[in-house]
Amino acid sequence: MDEKKNIAYISICLAFAAGFCDAATFTAAEELFSAHVTGNFVVFAYDLIRGAEAKSWLKLLSFPVFTVAVVTAGWFAPKLKSGYTLLLVEGAILLVAGALDIAFGRPGSTWGAVMPYIVVLAMGIQNAFGRLYTTAAYAPTTMMTGNVTQLTLDIAKILMPGVWNSDRRPAFAKQFIVIGGFLAGCLAGAFLAAHFGMWTVALPGALLLLLFFI
């Protein structure tokens, strides 16, 4: 990917979008994780021991949808002039999905059942982008466990210098940008989805479209 953009801006926008979508689908779509889809294994197992209903089994659809998104993004990436085009597609999907949800997202409607998996599709593209272009952001933007682990280790190196031997200088600012962006996205996504509905994923979609053109 020859084109370069502001890595700090890319990092915080992607982390915010992932946190927003993950919290929005979990809050307003039967506790479905859209960015960190492996979390759906845990939710499904929890539902299963309580006597899973049909809607609980539908959570497993997130994996084939996610896989299709990742494979498709991986196939198209080498053919694209700019890898950031993947973010343009992701943003467009979220924006269009939000618009369609306003038009058709009634309780119990077919679209209401499909909408969360459209968000999963978009997040699959972002996950693929992070793997294909590892230097485009400071750290992975869709799963924070590794980032929090690295931050904890870096803090430990400072607090216990005699125990941790490393010449690598901790990049606290970069870690806080990603983790903080994700947390802000989670708070915004949970609040807006709970009060206004799933259409609000159009907001991070618009942010990603803006990111592409800046």
Q: For the chain, 214 residues long, give each residue's pLDDT as a single digit of tens.
A: 555 668 999 999 999 999 999 999 999 988 899 998 888 888 878 877 877 666 677 788 889 999 999 999 999 999 988 889 999 999 999 999 999 999 887 777 888 889 999 999 999 999 999 999 999 999 999 988 888 888 888 887 777 766 555 556 667 788 999 999 999 999 999 999 999 999 999 999 999 998 877 7
Q: State residue 54's pLDDT score.
A: 63
Rounded CA separation 119/124 (Å): 9
Is the Cβ–Cβ distance between 141 and 126 less than 8 Å?
Answer: yes
Is the Cβ–Cβ distance between 125 and 68 less than 8 Å?
Answer: no
Q: State residue 197's pLDDT score.
A: 93
Whether pTM > 0.85 for this model: the answer is: yes
Q: State residue 4's pLDDT score.
A: 61
Q: State residue 125's pLDDT score.
A: 96
Rounded CA separation 5/101 (Å): 32
**Residue tagged 């990742």 (tokens):** 70
Q: State residue 36's pLDDT score.
A: 87
